[in-house]
Amino acid sequence: MIGRLGRFWLGAGYVFLYVPILTLIVFSFNESKMVSLWTGFSLRWYYAIFHDDEILSAVVVSLKIAFAAASAAVVLGTLAAFAIVRYRRFTGRTAFIAHINAPLVVPEVITGLSLLLFFVAVENLMGGYSFRGMPTIWIT
């Protein structure tokens, strides 16, 4: 059972996490260009965002990429789950499951660092900037 002190620290943790988010939401309605100075309520910045063609086109591209990535993840995840459940014994099953579960247990910092080292090594092998672009996107 959680005691009074435990509830206090739990509440303090939630306050520590959510107060900056709530502050950001409140100050997003600020009329001033300066974040630290409240001058009044305004929807001017939201109007500017929703009427900026570059931002809207970036949002559309991001949503297309998100839909494609989510669709590919569903298809590949379903096929992998089907293979694991349907074929109980096959060569490399343990390695296959380990590769599927690796993104769940490896922190993003380690993944980013390993990808950085990989791309530096490939760039040294291929000579300069020849490996940038679409191959980088496909590998990551």
Residues 88 and 110 in one domain: no
Q: Tell me the CA distances in angstroms from 81 to 4, 69, 85, 100, one per residue in order.
A: 45, 18, 6, 10
Residues 98 and 128 in one domain: no
Residues 96 and 113 in one domain: no
Rounded mean pLDDT of 81-97? 89
Assessment of whether the complete model's pTM goes beyond 0.75: no
Q: What is the pLDDT of residue 43?
A: 92
> Residue 56 contacts by C-beta under 8 Å, 6 or more apart in sequence?
50
Look at the chain and report how many structural domains it folds into: 3
Residues 65 and 101 in one domain: yes
Answer whether 139's CB lies under 8 Å from 131's CB.
no
pLDDT class for 80, splitting at 50, 70, 90?
very high
What range does the domain containing 33 cover?
Answer: 1-44
Write the DSSP assignment of 59-100 as a string of letters. HHHHHHHHHHHHHHHHHHHHHHHHHHHH--S-TTHHHHHHHH
Residues 99 and 112 in one domain: no
Residue 2 is encoded by which pair of tokens?
Answer: 């959680």
Residues 73 and 94 in one domain: yes
Measured between alpha carbons, how far is 139 from 43 in angstroms, rounded to an integer?
41
Residues 100 and 66 in one domain: yes
Rounded mean pLDDT of 18-22? 95
pLDDT in tens, 34-62: 877 888 899 998 999 999 999 999 999 99
Residue 118 is encoded by which pair of tokens?
Answer: 């990989």
Residues 101 and 56 in one domain: yes
Rounded mean pLDDT of 23-42? 87
Residues 64 and 100 in one domain: yes
pLDDT in tens, 3-15: 888 889 989 999 9
Rounded mean pLDDT of 104-125? 83
Residues 21 and 40 in one domain: yes
Pick the range with the lowest mean pLDDT from 17-26, 75-84, 103-112.
103-112
